[in-house]
Copies of this chain bind each other. A is one copy, B any other.
Amino acid sequence: MYYLGIDLGGTNIAAGLVSADGKVMRKDSIPTRREADYRELVKDMAALMRKLLKDAGVREEEVKGVGIGSPGILDEKKGILIYASNLQNLKGAPLVSEMEKYVNCPVYLGNDANVAALAESEAGAARGSRHSVTVTLGTGVGSGAVIDGKIYSGFNGAALELGHMVIVVDGEPCGCGRKGCWETYASATALVRQTRKAAREHPESMVNKLVDGDLSKINGRTAFDAARQGDEVGKLLVEQYIKYVAEGLINIISIFMPEVLVLGGGICNEGEYLLNPLKEHVLKRFTNYVLPLTEIRLAQMGNDAGIVGAAMLAKTAKEGG
């Protein structure tokens, strides 16, 4: 028994044939024809699926469900993509009903951050838990929650905007219109901004040397690299960044008390160097805590999160229904 997961992105459409326990049996991808209309794009997806099945030697009857993970604002229940900034042609597209023309199994639609959380829950770092939250520290801060084994997305499908939880009232302005959102302190973008600011204020620091004085070369690793080499400015940057990430994580734990809190995104390539101080901050808050406490783990699904999560969306929806 298999599930098909489709990861719809602005650049590529990836698809994977996934086993019931979340293993990718075969995957493939094609470029997203952004100029095409939704019927053509769904046709592309269907062709990609057929090719996958053929290459894997699996009959269509063996596929019990298809899941589509998509960015943007969705009407999950109706299976419609309402709006996605990098998929303008798909505005209002009834992706699920269109896809159902090509397959004989049920089709489900889910937000990309939510399906990534489901992938970690079913086959990754939170495997075996009933409640988990996955947070991705990338360009923004993405997040999804799995409650009782299923994605929780609120009554309108748009819950879990943890990146837009304000942690500093009247703080840094955010693209969403609010001020002081967690994302403006804890995303890779925020760390780059903080690093550039420090580099301008401390031209003598290792941070500047690492980029040969070209501040446009600063990325999410620069401050960590400087800190690891003992640079004071780098150490302060990392300390401050980790503090803000920790404040958000402690909020999430206080709110959800998930069994596992999964951390993903580019910044997590820092591994233990990031994870250990974060855990310390959290433990400090919960000193003498008498109940079992959330475990914080690094994400395991990497680039497969999208296709595995989409496939598991089909699996968990079937189980629930």
Q: Which residues of A contact B (CB under 8 A)?
A: 73, 75, 82-83, 129-131, 147-148, 152-162, 164-169, 171, 177-178, 185, 243-244, 247, 250-251, 254-259, 285, 287, 290-294
Number of copies: 2
Asked whether, in the complex, the Cβ of A155 is within 8 Å of the Cβ of B258, the reply is yes
A154: chain B residues within 8 A (beta carbon): 131, 256-258
Summarize A's interface: helix, strand, loop or mixed: loop
Asked whether, in the complex, the Cβ of A291 is within 8 Å of the Cβ of B177, the reply is no
Enumerate the 6 nearest inter-chain pairs by beta-carbon distance, A residue then B residue, closest first. A154-B257, A159-B257, A155-B259, A161-B254, A156-B291, A165-B251
Contact of A291 among B75, B130, B152 (CB under 8 A): B75
A259: chain B residues within 8 A (beta carbon): 155
Contact of A159 among B152, B168, B256 (CB under 8 A): B256
Asked whether, in the complex, the Cβ of B155 is within 8 Å of the Cβ of A247, the reply is no
A254: chain B residues within 8 A (beta carbon): 159, 161-162, 164-165
A169: chain B residues within 8 A (beta carbon): 167-168, 171, 185, 243-244, 247
Asked whether, in the complex, the Cβ of B255 is within 8 Å of the Cβ of A155, the reply is no
A243: chain B residues within 8 A (beta carbon): 169
